[in-house]
Structure 1
């Protein structure tokens, strides 16, 4: 009997403490390509992902996974219109309202074309972006061509991951069965499927920032902003000091900080879109929410070189918020 072609990758990760090792970038690329091609058994997938989870994936491994997946993304979105900002959204909301969505609407109003992408619901008691967008009255694409139309019509589009790298969609749902996140959660955030010049990525834990940044550097990414967002989504907490890391114009970024604007706030506990609509229309005041939108938009404006500093970007964001089209939502 001939050994299964994927067995060597499980064995490399699963040997004893002295014999096991991380995968090289090329090995990781080959392993991921086998996964994308559907040539890996379910038992192998579970073992592979959890061995990586326990060992902790390396930048080289993540870069190898990206090598395989980005090729598939390029094929799926080869005729996609130009996007300015890549906005991965895979975490969902649990405690705070999804203020980051108002940030994308505000950016779209000034001509910044944003592609949001996310996966299927995989964690109980969280509300995900596709559901929330629909509740806001914004369109959710069911395919690439439809997402392109939405981008032209509303300045932003949401595209499910199953439309540009379908195998990863199923892998994300393993979180429900395994009870743990896997390297796929990190990988999905890093895809930048439309190859936008700026990608912003949020992490649950600051320790993952070095992993995201290291893989991006290996892949030659030029502009990537990383921070610990509220609940794992791309949303700056206005009641916390937020460090912005990543890559800026091809160089490692250090020392960028968004200061808190208010004391620690108590979350409402149940995220919903209705509150967002009332605040956007000026029918309701929410200090936390308005500041979350302004701070998040400021980071994007600075990353896109619309402002010379984060402080200048914050003033621009405030002006955008004051002048917003309240009838948009």
Structure 2
């Protein structure tokens, strides 16, 4: 590990990218804790300064996948948002998952207790606020949720224990590391489609080339709300579509679809996230949040090749809200994971 560390930590002019095989060795040393905490921290900081190459990212993804529990319990869309959570935006990806499942596209969500650098409300917190203990969602419960509702939530550190063992180091560093990208690409259920959130448009090219290497059938890389995979509803969103070994820019502009809506300011808590999500599924939410869920669900239906256009996706999703199908999927999911029907 020391020799590999020397290569990435020689300073701005002297540092070099590791080869794929070298990065595999470094990743394995880190995930198995053969490297010391000091070496791991130094490597993460050096990579942060140098910026990870596509080969280094690919190697870390392959190693976290190696030590994770992965099973094709459902093959649909993987939604990969940042594990450091949110502070000021709505988790549209959560209710959108049930819309997609109602339309026949299984969805895999995943996350962990909040991490740096943002330390926001995580999807893990939102799941807990529904009354479900996310830390207890093992493979058996995931298979049950997939069978009953087509929506699975994976607690990443339970399904990939080495990441849990690295949490203290990441918390002490307080900054983004290469794991912030790698953990989002574990692909627990072997999904052919991917919606992936990023903070900065400078990473579009590198991540597109990485996703091609990882073999997804089709992916959407979104510069979304707080670095998430959620398209904005009050302004255009930049995204890259990755398909057939190629990638190109796509702008999603809600104004052209008649959906552009000012977003009200809210003091978000996990409970408030759940309350708004449930209101969307009942057809009773503020227009901004309802429209944001419709737009995101429609874009993902198009991504998963279930509809021929964004407009068709919007029409499909609106019908699934109006006829109660999306809410029924959500209730089935809750019943399956809570072990008893919810009160009427």
What TM-score, normalized to structure 2?
0.85
The 1-side partners of 2:280 and 2:310 are apart by 24
Closer, same or farther: CA 60–246 of 1 in aligned 2, 3 Å:
farther
In structure 2, the partner of 1:121 is 114
Q: Which residue matches 1:14?
A: 9
Asked if structure 1 preserves the Cα contact closer than 8 Å seen for 2:241 and 2:250, the reply is no
User: Are residues 1:293 and 2:285 paired?
Assistant: no
CA distance in 1, matches of 2:309, 2:147: 29
Following superposition, the deviation at residue 264 of structure 1 comes to: 4.4
Q: Could you tell me how far 1:45 is from its partner in structure 2?
A: 0.6
- Measured in 2, the distance between the counterparts of 1:37 and 1:276 equals 38
Judge conservation of contact 2:28–2:63 (CA < 8 Å) in 1: yes
Q: Which residue of 1 aligns with 2:279?
A: 278
61-70 or 318-327, larger mean C-alpha shift: 318-327
Write the distance in 2 (CA, Å) between the matches of 1:47 and 1:229: 30
CA RMSD of aligned residues (A): 2.2
1:103 aligns to 2:104 (yes or no): no
Range 231-240 or range 122-131, more displaced = 122-131
Structure 1 residue 125, shift from structure 2 partner: 5.7
Note the C-alpha offset of 1:173: 5.4
Question: Secondary structure of 1:207's partner?
Answer: helix
Question: Does structure 1 residue 177 correspond to structure 2 residue 169?
Answer: no
* Residue of structure 1 aligned with 2:246, choices 232, 252, 260: 252
Distance 1:243 1:318, change over 3 A: farther
**Take 2:141 and 2:241, find their aligned partners in 1: how far apart are those partners?**
31
Q: TM-score, normalised by structure 1?
A: 0.88
Unpaired runs of 5+ in structure 1?
1-5
Quote the residue 2:310 is aligned against. Answer: 310
Gaps of 5+ in 2: 332-344
Q: Aligned partners of 1:107, 1:173: CA distance in 2, in Å?
A: 36
The structure with the greater share of residues assigned to helix is 2
Give the Cα–Cα distance (whole angstroms) in 1 for the partners of residues 317 and 277 of structure 2.
17
CA-to-aligned-CA distance 1:188-228 (integer Å, 9 cap, x gap): 12221221110111112222222221212233333221101
2:151 corresponds to 1:159: no
Q: Output the CA distance in 2 between the equivalents of 1:292 and 1:246.
A: 19
Q: Which range moved further: 94-103 or 296-305?
A: 94-103
SS in 2 for 1:20: coil
What is the Cα deviation at residue 157 of structure 1? Answer: 1.2
Contact 1:88 1:117 in 2 (8 A): yes
**What is the distance in 1 between the residues matched to 2:277 and 2:239?**
25
In 1, distance between residues paired with 2:140 and 2:47?
A: 35
Tell whether 2:142 aligns with 1:147: yes
Do the aligned partners of residues 289 and 206 (structure 1) sit closer, same or farther apart at CA in structure 2, a change above 3 Å counting?
same
The one of 189, 197, 203 equivalent to 1:194 is 189
Say if 1:153 and 1:173 are closer, same or farther in 2 by CA, change over 3 A: farther
Q: State the 4+ residue runs in structure 1 displaced beyond 4 angstroms.
A: 172-175, 326-329
2:228 aligned with 1:210: no
Instruction: Work out which of the residue numbers 67, 71, 85 in structure 1 matches 2:77.
Output: 85
Q: CA deviation at 1:285?
A: 3.4
